Structures are given as C-alpha cells and as structure tokens.
Chain A
Amino acid sequence: MSAAATAAQPPQRARGSGTGNLLDRAWRGIVAGVMALFVVNVALLIAAVAVNSVATRWLGTWLPVGWTLSWYLQSWKDFQLAGILWVTFEVVFAVVLLSLAIGVPAAYTLARRNFPGKRALLLLFLLPLMVPPMTYGIPLATVLYQMHLAGTIWGVILANLIPAAPFVILVMTPFIEQIDPNLEAAARVFGAGTGRMFTSVLVPLLAPGILAASLLVLVRTIALFELTFLTAGPDSQTLVVALYYAVFAAGVRAPQSIDAMAMIYMLVTLVWLLIALRFVNPTQLVSRVKERPVPAG
C-alpha cells in the first residue's frame, strides 16, 4: 500500500514566513549578546583581581610591569590567614553539621505529617530565607551581645545557622516527599522496628539529599557576609569578613596583597563550588521558595 510514485506535477514547496525567521534570529542574537556581555565582564572582573594578585606593581597600564608570587606569602602573614582560614573552617563545618542535625528531622516531619499549624511552621522556617540578613542581623547582634555570645565563635556559628537550617529544610522536604512512603510501611510489615527502618531504609535513601544539602550550605556559608560581620569579634572573623575589612582599610596595605587574599578566598569558594556541582544542580543553590511546578491540566 505505498504510493511511491511521484506526483505528476512537483508538489508545491510551502512558503516559510521570511520576516518571522528574521525577527526570531535577531532576538536570539540579542539574547546571546546580553549573556555574553555579562559573562565576559564578570570574567574580566575576576581576571583583574587575579592579575593584580601576581603583579609586582600595576598602576593603570594594560598589564602590570612585572610578575611575582610573593604577595601571597605577604598577605598570608599580614592578614594572619592561617588563623582566619581555621576559624572559617570551624564555623562552616559546625554550621553544616548543626543545620543538618536540626533541619533533617524537621524536614521529615513536614514531609510526612499533616498537623494544625503546619503552614505557620512552614512560614516560620521560610522567613529567614526571604528576609535579608541585614534586616534581622542588627536585632540578632543586639541579642547575642546580651547573651555574651557576640564576638565569640559560637555567636558566629549560631548567627550563620539561622539561614542554614531553613535552607536544609527547604532542600530536604521535597526530597523526602519523593521517597515513597510505602517503603517505610513495607519495612515495618517485614519486621523492621523504627530504628532499623531508619538505618536500613531511610538514611541510605536520604544520603544523596543530605550530601547535596550539606554542600549547598557549605558554599553559602563561606560566602555569607552580613551575619558574620555583625556578630564576629577580632578573632572570630571568617575569610569573607577579613577580606571586607582589608578592602575597607585599603590605604593601609598594598592592593596586590589585598587581591592575593581575595584570590585565596575565591579559590576556597570555587573549590567547594566545583565539588558541590558534581552532586547538585546549579539552580539548587538559589532554591525555589515554595512554588511547585505547574502540572499540565
């Protein structure tokens, strides 16, 4: 049943919309152009910092007069980066562990149970992510001063925990919802008690989510400026706060030294970002607040 024979007259070629195609192509060009402009400028911005950090001197020419790596050693000593890196490390890992410890169980409750006041609780957990740190940071710093925690490393940890724990909850709740609740029921039916069920069924299934959440919290906390800035003392500064002070008091130290420190900060951040990106989608760093995808009718 095949009409393989060609028609007597050649079939008309359909006329495509010429102007439509042109508009479409122009639009695509504009979009690509804007994106390229943005990416290139940001890349050059970062490159400028990098170049300056290895420059002997750079005063307004295209490229510096000479190159050296000595600024890194200089800034390491000048800014006591060893101590600061250690503090950063302590703060970040404490925040990750604590936020997981209180966030994952809360996420489980939100994902699996309905109860009166659930929406209020959800709002409570979402607020710290929607209200910018500077707005609640000042009252928070005041309270921490009252509790004599401000200026200590525990004050910094607690402050950074405020956006971190809700973030864990936000990431883990849909993750837990995705796990078939029947799996837990099946485990019980086959004789597992609550403890065994957790260790043999839930935790292995949750592991990728927990890993993703911890990496995301880690990356966000390293870069979180405002809260640490408002609550840290001189020996509980994280790297980003130390960098701010260095840039702020820019007249005191050589700009190359500051940029070397900036490069170290960038390196630390980007290394963890790269590690995180192996396990998570870049969009999860920003994380949708509340909206569920619109299913087709």
Chain B
Amino acid sequence: MSAAALPGTGQPTKAASRPAFDRALLLAIPATLFMLLLFVYPFLYGLWLSFVPAKGGPLANYHTFFTTSDLWPTIGTTLKLALPATVINVGVALPIAFRMRVRGRWQRIVTTLLVVPITLGTVLIAEGMLNYFGPKGWLSHALQLVHFYDGPIRLTHNYWGVLISLVISGFPFAFLLILSYVTGIDPVLARAAATLGAGSFAQFRHIYLPLLAPGLAMCFCLAFVQAFSVFPSAVLVGAPAGPTRVISIAAYQAAFEQYDYSLASAIAMIMGFVQLVIVAAVLGLRGFFYRGPVAGGKG
C-alpha cells in the first residue's frame, strides 16, 4: 500500500505547485472569518462584559449570582433535570440501538419515525404535551380508565413535564447517534467472536462495548449539554417560577427583562462553565475505566 492518497482515507495529497496550495487555503477564509466574528468574538465579548457590571467590582455579577436566592439554585435545578434525562436517554438508547444494528426494514422504519420528534422541535412537543399529557388529555383518561391512577394526572406545568419533554426530544437524538456508532463497527468482528465461543451477551460485553465506549461518552456529553440548556419546555410545560426555573431562564430574564446584559453574560458564562465541568468529568471517567485505543483499527 503506497503512501499516496487513498480514496476514502481522508489523507490529502501533497500539493504539487505553490499557487494551487495557497488558493485552496483561501477557500476556508470566509468560513473562518465568519466563525471568529460571530462565534468566538461574542463569546470573548460576553466573557469580558461579565466582568464589567453596571455597579460594583469585576466579580460583582458572579457575586450577585451566587447570593441571589432565585439565581444560584438554578444550577441545581437544571442539573436535576439534565442529568436524569441524559442518563435515561443514553441508557435506554444503547440496548435498543444495539438490538437494531442489523440493517433492514425495521431499522429504516424506526430511524425515520424517530427523526420526526427531532425535526418538529421542542416547542411543538411542548404544545402537544400540554394537551396529551395534561390533566384532561387522552393519557389521563386512559390511565383513569384502567384504574392505573386515580384522578387527573399531573404531568404538565411541573418538573415531570420538563423531564418528559427532555426525553421525547433527547431520546431519538441519542438513539440515532449511538446507532451510527454501532453500525460503524464491522459486523465481522462479532462473527469472529461467535466462532470463538462468544454468545450474544459476551459479544456485546467484550467486543461492542469497548469499541463503543468513546462514542458513548461523546453521546452522553452531547445529550447532556443539549438537556442542560433547555428553555422553551421549561417555560411552556414546566413551572418557570419555581421548580423548573432553569439557568437559561435566569439568563434570558437578565438580558431581556432586566436589560442587564452584563449579568446575563455572566450567567451564560456560568452555564457554559458547568457544562464544561460535567463534560470533562465524563471524558475523564471514560479514560479511567477504559484504557484502550480511542480510534480502533489501522491508525
């Protein structure tokens, strides 16, 4: 196998002449400039702004956040929603995606169906939940009919509403992501394991799980940050004044109701920081439990 460019391996060719080399690099400039201007710069600006409050020293915003009784608990509230939702989403999606790894009619049908809640988005799901999961909705009627529950159910305008909505919008995402990781593992490895005496569960435990570990960690992080920044469902099917007052609501109110952009930026920074901490923890935990190559196969 020569070192020259092999299609599909992503190894770029070495440029032959100088002008072509420079020109190709120029192509990336608009996108780079755009990202720097509209993503990096606002972030840096926000970071700076959070240290220049309307009154007080540089850390005044952060001090305000951690001393105001309706601000600092938002971290805990949001974590109480995001962590269980992510654990449920990833934990349930893994065995199901693994079961569906065989390419076929069922896989196609299920993936198409699951793409629908993702496409529709959280706002529509929230509106639907208010009806269906509400005290006078079909679910309530059905559960009362089979005497599973007495009286109307309380699954909206509270913690459970937001949790359910996080599962409805987060589970398909986790499922599709994990499915793409699982199908990326060559099935011949499982067949080889079978000829060596590994049954279904042993194949999962010794072959698939170690190879999936990096992807699972990634999926957990992505699902978590999505859940942590929940906003419309927390307002529409939650109780934004109290039990589901998530950190994004606090940031929004600071910016658009109190017009305190400095505080809002500080809250946004705190939000990003907490997400970073959890992500780092998950990736660190993954490294602790699984000492193997991150990308398997020929390097």
Contact = CB atoms under 8 A, between A and B. Distances in A.
The answer to whether A and B come from one shared complex is: yes
A142 B261 contact: yes
Contacts of B189: 296
Interface in B247-261: 248, 251-252, 255, 261
Contact of B176 (A35, A127, A247, A282): A282
A135 B32 contact: no
Contact of B127 (A35, A127, A137, A262): A262
B139 to A, nearest CB: 8
Contacts of A105: 27-28, 30-31
Interface string B11-52: 011010000110111011011101110111111011101000
A181 B14 CA distance: 11
Interface centre among A48, A109, A139, A165 (most CB of B within 10 A): A139
Interface string A246-261: 0110100001001100
Q: How large is the interface on B (under 10, 10 to 19, 20 to 34, 35 or more residues)?
A: 35 or more
Interface string A271-297: 001000100011101101111111111
Contacts of A46: 116, 120, 128
A20 interface: yes
Interface stretch (A1-9, A86-94, A110-118): A110-118
B7 interface: yes
B56 interface: no
Mostly, the A contact residues are helix
Interface string B133-174: 100111101000000000000000000000000001001010
B271 A181 contact: no
Interface stretch (B57-65, B67-75, B225-233): B225-233
A45 B120 CA distance: 12
A179 to B, nearest CB: 7
A180 B13 CA distance: 10
A170 B7 CA distance: 18
A31 B99 contact: yes
A292 B39 contact: no
Given A48-B132, A124-B32, A225-B123, A136 B39 contact: yes
Q: How large is the interface on A (under 10, 10 to 19, 20 to 34, 35 or more residues)?
A: 35 or more
Nearest to A145: B261
Interface of A: 20, 24, 27-28, 31, 34-35, 38-39, 41-42, 44-46, 48-49, 52, 59-60, 62, 101-103, 105-106, 108-115, 121, 124-125, 127-128, 130-143, 145, 158-159, 161-162, 165-166, 169, 174, 177-182, 185, 194, 219, 223-226, 229-230, 240, 243-244, 247-248, 250, 255, 258-259, 262, 265-266, 269-270, 273, 277, 281-283, 285-286, 288-297
